[in-house]
Amino acid sequence: MRLRKVRRVAAWLSQENGLDPLPEQIAEACNMNLDEVTNLLSIIEQPVSLDAPVDDEARYSLADTLEDTTTSVLTEAVSQHLSLLKKCDHYPQSLKALRLPSAGAICYTA
């Protein structure tokens, strides 16, 4: 919440003055301690790579810890398709009978 406030006030001051505000100006406008504002501003400015390691041995990256929300949707869709295919298992046999008639049977497809 404090980070959001600092960002909002910094953007407002920047728009009002036409220049990037100094940490002292942001701290005064937010009624916050200068050290706290400086710390929060450093967090805002530091980009984080998804390839950054999250453990000391660099086995896992930040991207490995993010949840893949599409996986469950795909799994559910595949299971629904498979259940439909099981229900329609007899259908391909009836099509085969129409397309590949035995001797003496009438062929219904051209």
Assigned domain for 54 exists:
no
Q: How many other β-carbons are positioned within 10 Å of the β-carbon of residue 22?
A: 14
Assigned domain for 55 exists:
no
Domain, as residue range, for 94: 73-99
Counting every residue written for the chain, the total comes to 110
Assigned domain for 105 exists:
no
- CATH for 10: 1.10.10
| 29 CB-near residues (< 8 Å, 6+ apart) | 9, 12, 13, 21
Per the confidence metrics, is the pTM higher than 0.95? no
Tell me how many domains the chain contains: 2
d(CA 56, CA 33): 33
Closest CA to 24 of 37, 13, 12, 11: 37
pLDDT tens by residue, 3-60: 889 989 999 999 999 999 999 999 999 999 999 999 988 887 767 777 877 777 777 7
pLDDT tens by residue, 50-71: 787 777 777 778 777 776 666 6
Assigned domain for 56 exists:
no
